[in-house]
Amino acid sequence: MSLAVTGAVHAGQTIGLRAEAGVIVELGPDVQPRPEDERLDGAGALLVSPLINGHTHAAMTLFRGYGDDLPLMRWLEEKIWPIERRLDPEDVYWGTRLACLEMVRSGTVRFWDMYWHPEAAARAVRDAGLRATVAAPLIDVDSNPEAMREAALRSLDELAEIDERVHAGLAPHAIYTVSEPSLRWIAETAAEKGVPVQIHLSETEPEVTDCVSARGERPAHYLDRVGLLTPHTVLAHGVWLDREELQLIAARGAVIVTNPVANLKLAVGRVFPYLEARAAGIQVGLGTDGPGSNNSLDLFADMKVFALMQKHEARDSAAINAEETWEIATGRRAPLLGAAPGLEVGQPADFLLLRAGAPELSFGELPAALVYAASGAVVQSTVVAGQVLMRDGEIEGAEEVLARALERARRLGLAAPIVPASTPPSAGASR
Amino acid sequence: MSLAVTGAVHAGQTIGLRAEAGVIVELGPDVQPRPEDERLDGAGALLVSPLINGHTHAAMTLFRGYGDDLPLMRWLEEKIWPIERRLDPEDVYWGTRLACLEMVRSGTVRFWDMYWHPEAAARAVRDAGLRATVAAPLIDVDSNPEAMREAALRSLDELAEIDERVHAGLAPHAIYTVSEPSLRWIAETAAEKGVPVQIHLSETEPEVTDCVSARGERPAHYLDRVGLLTPHTVLAHGVWLDREELQLIAARGAVIVTNPVANLKLAVGRVFPYLEARAAGIQVGLGTDGPGSNNSLDLFADMKVFALMQKHEARDSAAINAEETWEIATGRRAPLLGAAPGLEVGQPADFLLLRAGAPELSFGELPAALVYAASGAVVQSTVVAGQVLMRDGEIEGAEEVLARALERARRLGLAAPIVPASTPPSAGASR
């Protein structure tokens, strides 16, 4: 399978691109399509690297707008947890398919997922043509640690066989929901199996104060002591980390994924100390968190909020610039997240074409246009491994995905969908 | 001229709407189009009230992405002001036309504009079919107060004749750029002519400290003393107002328009104290501020940031809910801003159709979907005074508007546009 893109704009030049077997084989002004190539007309479109969502719970698309604006614990206890107990793999499959559709549409090609029934999520990723690292949240504080471990191992085996673009991980939910012996077991198992670890860390202040009073040490130090602070660990949030913890994380080479929109929406009370993390040399990525607590999967919106919050906190409009923000959102500052190193011959053919005729992209400098002016609606075409997942705003099968996801939401007895049940999904589903 | 909308969804019902002479004449499940009606198919789309942008400098679309990420004063002194000195009415016309296009596309139907050559902005608003209150920024601290007053009066006369949907205002730039005698003259003239006033107030901390040290009183008290705190005054920003000032503003019936994205981007160091303003009973609206300091005109994005910031500041995810946020963004909490009171027979036929097939709008409660999940890309059709300005994503003349705005930007010698000069604007211009 080969693909040829013609007439796109990259670094101020009009260029073409050819991909074979998922890899870029030609890139430049003189690329000529071959007869066997699938064609993608890039006329006037901007060719850019795609986005990486470093932390989400994708299938929670089904829970979106359900019990919003409640205090966090009431939202979880009264709304989310009772329904999650009734989730089955088909719910997760279609919820994740819908998330994939929204990610493709807004330019995200790879994501890190932590959710129930990860094998169903993995099938959804495969069928949508995206890339992901998926893992079930591991929790043993109110259940049987042995059962948790067995399930984790079974899940790793199942996930290994689904698709080469879907990677398995281990995801201890948090230090307050997994026992110390199980955290150590996860560290050993991850090392042995060669899989990455993702964990929520220091999202809220009580997590820190509870850890300090229980163990006399802060969360990052505890995580290090149980062997989980490694170059293969993704720490989601890190809002309440202090300077010493940031130094430790930098020294260990772990990645922090910040989720600015979810942190604000859940009112965790502090902003991820990115400038300190940068000064310490930590690798940082960007995530939306689950669509239940964001409620969007459009990383264009979230990269803007990320940059805005850092400027605001620093009280300095120059504290972070658009170029740096774009690098973070495209995963360039945290190789573990799995972005291709760049648009180059020999690299995976993962890229976006953006509507250069969009007013948001037509003025000034490109990074500023991308970060401050654009939304995901500027994405015209999305390509992963040389496969065109969205072509000029159209995603094959989009209507079915939405219809099936709505069916699953109705099955779960979620609040009546906005659209009367008799109304067919309109043609807007793909955009 | 009459218009019939059929098959739209409103308050959970499938309904139709008819408009004649710019006003809603029928609304309900049994509306039948007449032969003479222009038709707008609303099949499966959500019918909602449109958005009001309470503060912007529309023509600054041309300056977008130019010198971003510089500290505020360097951005103004080195980038913006030198170019503004060379702006002519055609620049403002096409910059404003482009802003109107982006507003129509993302669901805004009325805006408050403060910018140079307001008669050119007014022509642009008329030609785009929108509604606006326009005014030149009045500044006399480094020029001749008499000349400023004459220009202001001339502008009021010119603006009065352009279009019934375009209203004139008076816009003293700020208390630190207009002398006390001129502020008093503006207050008297506004009362005499029956026009509203818009002014930047308490955007930055130095404005407050300078005012206190020069006059022994805080900005809102000073504004009241010169006669400018009235039910016909729109105060942009209000970030640094204290509780006593908020009480005074409430007592006088003035409106505050908050611009959360611009405040964060320019790092003014504080968040508009909305919860206190609400407690005081102040009328509040939402603005983007100029696209040079935002850099988007999509109020869907900004209403989300507004709600997020209030939750964050209050450290309470329930501090403000989606319904209240939507009311603010649609101008329902500040009648002076000019929103129609609601979608009802006898009211102006200003409304949006949203793609109900958009995944963002397909789950949960409608206000949460609109505020937290949607972006302006969910807007399918925009109608003002019964005139269809965007039909299923298409805006007539969109390509010409973008091309002419790009020409003006090139004339001004702005940073080389992203798109090579030889590339024609693509079909993406309308979306």
Give contacts of B429 with chain A, Cβ < 8 Å: 357-359
> SS3 string of A301-313?
HHHHHHHHHHHHH
Give contacts of A362 with chain B, Cβ < 8 Å: 402, 405-406, 417-419, 425
Contact B65 A368 (CB under 8 A): yes
In this structure, are residues B297 and B53 in contact, taking their beta carbons and an 8 Å threshold?
yes
The whole-angstrom separation of Cα B228 and Cα B166 is 22
- Strand-by-strand arrangement of the B283-286 sheet: B197-201, B233-237, B255-258, B283-286
In this structure, are residues A110 and A130 in contact, taking their beta carbons and an 8 Å threshold?
yes
Percent with pLDDT over 90 in chain B: 87
Q: What does each C-alpha distance from A136 to A82, A110, A263, A367, A389 come to in angstroms?
A: 18, 17, 22, 35, 26
* ipTM of the prediction: 0.96
Closest Cα in chain B, distance from residue A356 (Å): 7
Half-sphere exposure of residue A66, counting CA atoms within 13 Å on the CB side? 27
Question: At residue A430, does pLDDT exceed 80?
Answer: no
Choose the mutation target among B77, B293, B363, B408 for the interface with A, i.e. most A CBs under 10 Å. Answer: B363
User: For the residues B232-261, what does the mean pLDDT come to?
Assistant: 98
Residue of B nearest to A301 (CA): B301
Give contacts of B426 with chain A, Cβ < 8 Å: 43-45, 355-357
User: For the residues A242-257, what does the mean pLDDT come to?
Assistant: 98
In this structure, are residues B46 and B78 in contact, taking their beta carbons and an 8 Å threshold?
no
Q: Which H or E run includes A24?
A: strand A23-28
pLDDT of residue B328: 98
Contact B296 A360 (CB under 8 A): yes
Question: At residue A171, does pLDDT exceed 60?
Answer: yes
Question: At residue B260, does pLDDT exceed 50?
Answer: yes
CB within 8 Å of A146: residues ≥ 6 apart: none
Dihedrals phi, psi of A106, to nearest 5 degrees: -110, 15
pLDDT band at B431 (very low <50, low <70, confident <90, very high): very low
DSSP B115-136: -SSHHHHHHHHHHHT-EEEEEP
pLDDT of residue B44: 82
Q: What does each C-alpha distance from A390 to A106, B41, B391 come to in angstroms?
A: 10, 26, 23
Q: What does each C-alpha distance from B240 to A397, A424, B218 come to in angstroms?
A: 51, 49, 10
Give contacts of B302 with chain A, Cβ < 8 Å: none
Average pLDDT, chain A: 94
Smallest Cβ distance to A362: which of B70, B318, B417?
B417
pLDDT band at B158 (very low <50, low <70, confident <90, very high): very high
Structure tokens at B21: 């002479």
Question: Of residues A423 and B354, which shows the higher confidence score?
Answer: B354
What domains are there in chain B, each with its CATH number? 2-49+345-390 (2.30.40.10), 51-337 (3.20.20.140)
What digits encode the pLDDT tens for the residues A262-276?
A: 999 999 999 999 999
The whole-angstrom separation of Cα A250 and Cα A276 is 11
Question: At residue B78, does pLDDT exceed 60?
Answer: yes
Question: pTM of the entire structure?
Answer: 0.96
End-to-end alpha carbon distance in chain B:
27
In this structure, are residues A8 and A14 in contact, taking their beta carbons and an 8 Å threshold?
yes
